[in-house]
Every structure is written in C-alpha cells, then in structure tokens.
C-alpha cells in the first residue's frame, strides 16, 4: 500500500504533499488508514510561530480517526476493520515535543501508526469527522482538570454535591478545549465561571456555567468582574496568551495560587510572586504509568460518550 503525507520539511515551511513510507506497527501499535484528520491550533502555531522546536522534516497532526489495517503482535483490544479515533502518542514523554519525534505517528498522512493506549473505539453512529475533531481537545480538557488540577470526574449518577460552591475559573469557554472543560466540570458538580465573546454567548450558555464574563471588554473590566466572582478553587486558561496570563495573574493576586495554561509562556511572565503558571502537554499525562486508570477510563468511554451525545462536537 502506497502512502502520501503533507510534510513540513523545514522550520516555518509550507506543507508539501509527498510520498511517505508505509510504516509497520510494532508490538503495541496499530496501523490505521485515516478517515478524517483533526486540525488543531497548535499545529498552525508550530508551522507559523515555531512555539517549540521539533525535528525536521516532520509530519504534523495530533488527532485523527479511521479504520484499523494491521495490529501489532501484543495488541488484543483491537482488530483489523475496527473504527477508531486516535490522539497522537507522546512516546511517554512529558514535554510538548514528544508527540512530534516520529513522523510515522503524524496524522497528516494516509496511513498512520497509533499507540493502542491512546486509541478509542468508535460506535457505529459516530462519524470519523466528529471523532477526529473532538479527541485531542477533549483529552486536553479532561487531563488538565482531572490529573493536573485534581478535580473530580463526572459521575453517571449525577454531580457530586460536595463540589457545590467550589468555584472553578475556565478562561475561554467559547474555545473548543474551554467548552469541553466547562461541560466536564459542570457535570462533576463544580460552580463554573467562564468567559466568552457575545457572538458565542448562546453556545457557552448551553453548557450551564454559573457565570459568563465578556472577554472582549477592556482587560481592567475583565479583571474586576472575575475577581468579584471568586475566590477560586482552580483556574484553567484554555487560551494561554500573554494577555490572559496577565489578566489571571491580577485576578489571583490577592488569594494567590496556581493556574494551568494550554500554551507555553511567550517571554517573561507578568505574574505576582504568589501566583504560579503551569504548562504541559496535558494529553501526554495519560501515558504516564501512575495515570493508567485515568487513561483506560478516558479512552474507554470516549467513543461511547460521543455516540450518546454526551460529548458535543
């Protein structure tokens, strides 16, 4: 079987369609024929802004869906013909470069190698497009909240009453990661404060946060409203820009604490001394041995929840 890929051949270069080797899966891997490819903001930022160094030439792409073609010798949970969605494995690295070390796992190609541990089976009613669009952003939101911020997971029996009144600030509720984070935390019973533009207000309102603040207004007004809505049990910045870092630093200045962000810092941080900012490749945390239970839970329920409509596209 011949393979084609969209290569980024040097730093900052445009994508180039070219041939690629068709890789063979090792013991715990799958070879998958892509059905749909997710386009994630980090990929454009890598190409245009070079937000962290990766090896070149490279095949970008963190998320995709498709059909299993071959399975490795140790794989027992998947078989040829299975419909699946994949978040690109970090290679068990905790840093942001990990997923991009091997071009064979990049989703911008016809045949892709996947780690069986970061692959989810899909229900028949779930489209490839919906699954590819959701898996990486949902993995980011769930890992950040459940593993990094140590929030409870949603319980099928209903929200945990013990979490009522615990305020969680999710900056950027109208973003894909932010929307998933709001949805997740509301279902776990937390009191969610988030932000949105007026244009996306109806969408964010449908997720049922306790309060939505307009993040298109002047920064001083955003800070004032967010401070008035606090104090906060946890803070997650799904935008991760210098402007949002500064805003959240001012919001947390009085109470102190930590905030977790989806992007690395761009230069020196403008933060009070009692506020710490953390960034990491959140989905990679699922691959750490100590988080095996979280990993099995997330990749086990992803396709089922998408099929039941409990995860919005």
Per-residue pLDDT tens digits for 157-193: 889 999 999 999 999 999 999 999 999 999 999 999 9
Task: Report the number of distinct structural domains present in the chain.
Answer: 2
91 domain residue, yes or no:
yes
- Taking the CB of residue 37, how many other CB atoms lie within 10 A of it? 23
Looking at 126, 157, 172, the residue that finishes a domain is 126
CATH classification at residue 71 = 3.90.180.10
Which is nearest to 140 in space by CA: 130, 149, 129? 149
Looking at 64, 94, 126, the residue that finishes a domain is 126
34 domain residue, yes or no:
yes
SS3 content of the chain, % helix, strand, coil (to 5): 35, 25, 40
Helix pair angle (128-142, 176-187), 10° resolution: 70
Q: Are residues 161 and 267 in the same domain?
A: yes
pLDDT value of position 312: 46
139 domain residue, yes or no:
no
Q: Are residues 109 and 212 in the same domain?
A: no
In which domain, by residue range, is 263 found? 144-283
Q: Which residues contact 211 (CB under 8 A, 6 or more apart)?
A: 192, 193, 194, 229
d(CA 165, CA 70): 49
312 domain residue, yes or no:
no
The answer to whether the beta carbons of residues 137 and 62 sit under 8 Å apart is: no
Mean of per-residue pLDDT scores for the chain: 93
CATH classification at residue 182 = 3.40.50.720
The answer to whether the beta carbons of residues 59 and 7 sit under 8 Å apart is: yes
- Structure-block tokens of residue 80: 């040829």
In this predicted structure, the answer to whether residue 194 has a pLDDT above a threshold of 70 is yes
In this predicted structure, the answer to whether residue 255 has a pLDDT above a threshold of 70 is yes
In this predicted structure, the answer to whether residue 313 has a pLDDT above a threshold of 50 is no
Q: Are residues 189 and 267 in the same domain?
A: yes
- Taking the CB of residue 258, how many other CB atoms lie within 10 A of it? 13
d(CA 202, CA 197): 10
In this predicted structure, the answer to whether residue 129 has a pLDDT above a threshold of 90 is yes
d(CA 204, CA 106): 32
311 domain residue, yes or no:
no
């Amino acid at each position: 079987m011949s393979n084609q890929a969209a290569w980024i051949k040097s730093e900052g270069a445009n994508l180039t369609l070219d041939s690629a080797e068709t890789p063979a899966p090792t013991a715990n891997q799958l070879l998958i024929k892509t059905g749909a490819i997710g386009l994630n903001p980090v990929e454009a930022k890598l190409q245009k802004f070079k937000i962290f160094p990766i090896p070149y030439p490279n095949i970008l792409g963190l998320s995709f869906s498709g059909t299993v073609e071959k399975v490795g010798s140790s794989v027992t949970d998947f078989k040829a013909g299975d419909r699946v969605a994949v978040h690109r494995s970090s290679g068990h690295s905790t840093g942001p470069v990990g997923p991009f070390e091997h071009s064979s796992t990049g989703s911008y190609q016809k045949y892709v190698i996947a780690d069986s541990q970061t692959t989810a089976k899909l229900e028949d009613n779930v489209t490839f497009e919906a699954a590819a669009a959701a898996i990486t952003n949902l993995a980011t939101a769930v890992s950040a909240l459940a593993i990094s911020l140590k929030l409870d997971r949603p319980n099928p029996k209903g929200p945990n009453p013990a979490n009522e009144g615990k305020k969680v600030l999710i900056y950027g509720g109208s973003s894909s990661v932010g929307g998933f984070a709001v949805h997740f935390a509301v279902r776990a019973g937390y009191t969610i404060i988030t932000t949105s533009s007026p244009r996306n207000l109806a969408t964010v309102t449908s997720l049922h946060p306790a309060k939505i603040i307009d993040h298109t207004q002047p920064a001083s007004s955003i800070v004032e409203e967010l401070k008035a809505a606090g104090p906060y049990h946890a803070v997650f910045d799904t935008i991760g820009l210098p402007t949002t870092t500064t805003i959240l630093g001012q919001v947390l200045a009085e109470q102190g604490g930590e905030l977790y962000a989806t992007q690395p810092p761009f230069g020196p941080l403008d933060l009070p001394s009692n506020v710490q900012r953390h960034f990491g490749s959140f989905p990679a945390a699922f691959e750490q041995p100590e988080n095996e239970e979280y990993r099995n839970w997330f990749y086990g329920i992803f396709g089922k929840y998408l099929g039941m409509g409990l995860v919005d596209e």
